[in-house]
Amino acid sequence: MMKITRFAKLSFLVCAALLAGQAAQTAQTAHAQDIGLTEPMTATAPQNARAAALVYLPITVRAPAATVANGDFEAGRTAWIEHSNKGALPLIRTTFTGGLRPRSGAHAAWLGGVYSDIQYLEQMVAVPSNQSYLAYWHWIASSDFCGYDYVSIRANGAEVAKYDLCSSTNTSAWTKKTFNLSAYAGQQVMLQIRVRTDSSKNSNFFLDDVAFQAGTNAATSGADDGRAEAEIQVESFTQDAPAEKPMSDLPEDAASALKPE
């Protein structure tokens, strides 16, 4: 009788272990399907019922950021690397020449305004596969002829767009630009917005609300707050106007230096 009882107990434990193992395997297969694995995960069937208790750890897949960090510059001098060969920093500012106001919020970027300089803003971005057009708003204020001062867009050091800063491209308002970066869709790239000036005739490039969007006509984030109509009248800039942007953050001096006579 005692032997039969022990045998019954043993049989029960074996059956329990087999059932538990099968249940665990089924659960693993279902879980594998839940997280998109084509092949079920393999695991050794537990040797007893206690071992069948499984601990599922969450798997988090982080999608790349779909936006340019601090694209509206409202976080101040963060996320972007600011560069000027002549040390004419900061590029990200709250005050500008000629009464110009940021397109959104209180911050925008001011590149140029200094002779014979190379200035840029750059940051690593993930170009979204479904929003691979770079969009931003610029305001060009130049007294130069075309062909001497430029703005260019670079991705991983390669120039993907370039256009003139000159009196005939002056915008007299915040103007939207878009660039097709679909060649970099789904990739991490060092995005650089770069201005190069020569040794005469001042050029300024103001920038705000940088973002990725789905096409050339999609709306960008950062609503126009209605302050785009600044008093700046860049057409009257002359070669005689002092060109140097102050090395320290003295925006009043910059404004007076670049105001028309």
Binding site for Ca ion (CB under 5 A): 72-73, 102, 104-105, 107-108, 208
Residues 53, 119: Cα–Cα separation, whole Å: 61
- Chain centre distance of CA 230: 27
Whole-angstrom distance, CA of residue 53 vs CA of residue 66: 39
DSSP 71: T
- Taking the CA atoms of 254, 192, 135 and 165 in sequence, report the sign of the dihedral they define: positive
- SS3 call for 170: coil
Q: By C-beta, is 73 or 184 nearer to Ca ion? A: 73
Closest approach of Ca ion to the CB of residue 257, in Å: 23
CB 164 within 8 A of CB 150: yes
Give 108 or 258: the residue with its C-beta nearer to Ca ion. Answer: 108
* CB nearer Ca ion, residue 13 or residue 69: 69
Closer CB to Ca ion, residue 70 or residue 143? Answer: 70
Q: How far is CA 24 from the centre of its chain?
A: 44
Structure tokens at 71: 């694209």
Query: Smallest distance, Å, CB 106 to Ca ion?
Result: 7
Q: Are 151 and 205 in contact (CB under 8 A)?
A: yes
Task: Give 120 or 139: the residue with its C-beta nearer to Ca ion.
Answer: 139
Closest CB to Ca ion among residues 102, 113: 102
Q: Which residues pair with 191 in a beta bridge?
A: 123, 155
Structure-token pair, residue 1: 């009788």
